[in-house]
Amino acid sequence: AAATAGIFALLGAIGWLVRRGARALPRPRRPLLRLAIANLHRPAAQTDRLIVALGLGLTLFVVLAVVQTSLTHQIEKTVPAVAPSFFALDVPTEDIDRFRSTVLARAPEARIDSVPSLRGSVVAVRGVRVTDMKPVPKGAWILNGDRGLTYSTRLAEGNEIVAGKWWPADYAGPPLISVEEQAAKALDLKPGDRMTLSVLGVEIETTVASIRRVNWETMGFNFGIVFAPGALEGAPHSYMATIAIPDAREAAVNRAVIAGFPSVSLIRVKDVVEQVSSIFGQLATAIRAAASLALAAGVAVLVGAVAASRRARLYDAVLLKLLGASRRQILTAQAIEYALLAAVIALLALAAGTAAGWYVVTRIFELAWAPDWPIVLGTLAAGALGTLGIGLLGSLLVLAARPAAALRSL
């Protein structure tokens, strides 16, 4: 509501400036252009009202196009071409091999990726207890309660080492960990720093071996803290797994896992993606409905303005005809007028809509700024051409009047 009120005020001020600017412009030598500019600021001109009404509608459509295309880009970037069919949680450690065999028996072509899963919390950083940190550094999310932990011999897909180095596959030594980049920045962590973690009530003194940049948008398992081999294998834990199988095999695998592994939670990825896509679609529909109402109101104002100025335009057209102007010249002058008006409204809508869309996408949704500019500009061009078309339609009705009949009625 505040943004809409602000746009109303902005468009109103710009409409007033356009009228003043058109009046202050030097008189062009071309008579048709001079006439078109004069129509923007003459008495009873509807320029400022049209800029407010049509500008609001077009601005909302630009916001819609920017937000919707950015969301579409986010979905396409986040969901890989071959996304896993299921996430399996809480697979018992002693049953992980039987779990794999059960899935492969129903879907021999299945791709199964599994990782060990534990829960633990950070209790000290460089010898300072977390309970003694006042305040806790902003962005240090790994300090907030229990976290998901894992151990691995290889760097996960979508992870990149930005400081330090990854341990060898056959590492056997003191406990090492790799920490996610943003959390490391918040805590000013560097390779070689010490951290203490509590796993199942046992405190483990570790050394930071590397800092990782994590792509959280992949359809895989990502962890803020990853242990090197040797520290956690003996602790009670379970496994998580992703299963990629053809759609035709999903039902059989689902039934087999549910029957053979009561403790396992099987989450169908496609259902989650469809729900997210449905929410984005509903959001786009809501914005489109609001923009359509605003644009319809703007069109109604434009039609009303054309009707209100019909008598004055009829008078102008008759005088111009009596002075020797052709219907084509009169129509060209009015086309230039509405084209200038449409261009001003389009530029305003593009600037305001892009700024509002950027704020929504980057600050509210916290997504990447990636609008599809052909769609945005196409939406804007359609609205501008509609404005021009409605204005010219009213002009054609004026030009159809006969001078003699028009003079007798004036």
pLDDT tens digits along 152-188: 999 988 899 999 999 999 999 999 999 999 999 999 9
The reported pLDDT for the residue numbered 91 is 94
Per-residue pLDDT at 81 exceeds 60: no
The reported pLDDT for the residue numbered 179 is 95
The amino acid sitting at 367 is: L
What secondary structure does DSSP assign to 42-66, as a single string? Answer: STT--HHHHHHHHHHHHHHHHHHHH
Q: Average pLDDT, stretch 214-235? A: 86
The highest-confidence range among 8-22, 53-67, 173-187, by mean pLDDT, is 173-187
The reported pLDDT for the residue numbered 77 is 66
What average pLDDT does the structure give for the chain?
84
The reported pLDDT for the residue numbered 119 is 92
Per-residue model confidence as pLDDT tens digits over 272-296: 777 877 787 787 777 677 767 766 7
Question: Phi and psi (nearest 5°) for 145?
Answer: 70, -160
The reported pLDDT for the residue numbered 400 is 65
Per-residue model confidence as pLDDT tens digits over 287-327: 677 767 766 776 776 677 666 666 666 777 777 777 787 87
Collapsing DSSP to helix, strand or coil, 286 comes out as: helix
Overall pTM > 0.85: no
Extents of the domains making up the chain:
2-79+275-409, 111-244
Residue 370: other Cβ atoms inside 10 A: 15
